[in-house]
Chain A
């Protein structure tokens, strides 16, 4: 058992080289028991390599992994209490669903009856009991995903690794499966590590997210933290859409920053960010849904006038692209709260509008 204060899974300064190429750079992470933790990043960011090192398929070039207090260096994949749900599911095509789910149990010292009961329990958990005797190619993609999950959970691993668990499912099924995964995680209490390139998937599934880029972890935090308080331009741009402008810090006062933003044609008030000095170059970033759009000048600071250049109607909301006098483009999302089609919109094409945002909504990033 882990000592008090020791995290359940500790990844300590892990690096991985493939020849001269460094796939993972000095990653250090602490993951708590029972958490859903996502490794989020684009392809080639090292997230899959990190997952494979946790599974034991790759050995770290340097650094150590401790699971529940035990050093996993040199422990073979078959000796690790870590199971993986593969992106392709990797179901054994020549075995029935129940044989697949029970495969790991053949290494457990259990009576045959107990094993059968465990397989039943797993199949019930993923609601596939009626399909027990089918072969993998006789069931649907969503069902296969659940077989893979049941198989990985059957031996009660300490850690479950999920490699792009929802990537192969269509959009409707993905949404349903997300909630199913979360509920199964809650019922079993197993710690989940999810690798994904899909930020929405990471946001909805995870307790915490590590955003990775070029082998490095750029930010670790809850979905809210990485979305609302990104620590870099990369994280801000990777998670959700964002409009950003170069800015200069004019003054710090009363826990607020006053910035000069030439593209907006004026000054902006923003929430103070520690570590920024007056006169420093910075980036102002605003999420489209934080921008308000109105025909009349709103009260308060951070209001700028522009012209609607483009708008896209999505049903539940609309996206406006507003051109400012400087020529800069900003994107604003507005919820279509009132019914009534075109007439009820906040603005139409070529309308003069005001865009505004609260100082607390503005993200100021160094550089």
Chain B
């Protein structure tokens, strides 16, 4: 039992710092770990016609792994996983290809320009995300100036037989990837910029001085040192993109849904909470697994330095 004096001493020594450090952990405990445990519990429950539509124990098995069994065997789910991972992968790669030159450019312009351009990168966040997706839906629609213009260009450059009346952009995985690239690009640019901005410009000069041409300097000096930024940006894009629900729902192809949409459908329309939870857990393992492995090797590399 701690008396008043003991409590006072604890506060004087490191009580406040412990409290401050503790707050985020408490937050994570209540808003991440606990909900996650509930999802895991639901994933092993059995679907019932009650409200809530799940039960364990009693008449039902305590642990029912049917959801997991279906998640890994049913081709519908397998295809949804593949569609999600491939779309997210393509979107991440495109974000990297578009974002890297932009981030590098940001480090090479004057301070005043840099602030303006950084502002422009963040500016889209000031408009509602939904509004921006709807704007893209308008652009991709068959009668929009964007679609008409693209169709004209396409018809002008391809042989007669390939001519089209309009570009079939909406309700396709192409549309999903396009909008995801647009939406997630800042999440790639900002961590890349943060890691590139820290690099010492003298290193580039040293490599030039030792006989490397600018492209060799990029490959030898800039690129290897920006790998942490590439990984951070890649994870920030890939993880939310793989679980994305809104974009595929609005612009995607209903015939080949992404996994986020499947989870949503299972929860709401099908009222199969155990199935939805099982898919969510599998998705989480697919996402977190590689991140943990990377973190492990990163820590090992740091340790050996």
Chain A residues with a Cβ under 8 A of chain B = 55-57, 76-79, 82-84, 86, 88, 90-94, 103-104, 106-107, 135, 137-138, 151-152, 155
Contact = CB atoms under 8 A, between A and B. Distances in A.
Nearest to A138: B305
Contact of B212 (A78, A82, A137): A78
B213 interface: yes
A152 B205 CA distance: 12
Q: Main SS of chain B's interface residues?
A: helix
23 contacts: A56-B209, A57-B205, A57-B208, A57-B209, A76-B208, A77-B208, A78-B209, A82-B209, A84-B209, A90-B200, A90-B202, A90-B205, A90-B206, A92-B220, A93-B203, A94-B224, A103-B210, A103-B220, A104-B211, A106-B211, A107-B210, A137-B305, A155-B211
A65 to B, nearest CB: 16
Contacts, number: 61
A301 B36 CA distance: 97
Given A78-B213, A135-B305, A138-B305, A92 B208 contact: no
A107 B225 contact: no
B90 interface: no
Nearest to A148: B206
Interface of B: 200, 202-203, 205-213, 220-221, 224-225, 305
B195 to A, nearest CB: 12
Given A93-B225, A94-B225, A155 B210 contact: yes
Nearest to B208: A77
Contacts of A137: 305
A90 B211 CA distance: 15
Contacts of B210: 78, 83, 103-104, 107, 151-152, 155
A92 B213 contact: no
A204 B230 CA distance: 48
A103 B206 CA distance: 10
Given A90-B202, A92-B203, A93-B225, A83 B209 contact: yes
A84 B206 contact: yes
A84 B211 CA distance: 11
B207 A103 contact: yes
A107 B203 contact: no
A241 to B, nearest CB: 34
Nearest to A78: B211
B221 A92 contact: yes
Contacts of B202: 86, 88, 90
Contacts of B205: 55, 57, 77, 84, 86, 90
A342 B162 CA distance: 104
A88 B211 CA distance: 19
A151 B207 CA distance: 11
Interface centre among A55, A56, A57, A84 (most CB of B within 10 A): A84
A86 B213 contact: no
Nearest to A57: B205
A282 B200 CA distance: 49
A106 B225 CA distance: 19
Contacts of B206: 84, 86, 90-92, 151
Contacts of A135: 305
Nearest to A77: B208
Nearest to B224: A94
Contacts of B211: 78-79, 104, 106-107, 155
A138 B304 CA distance: 10
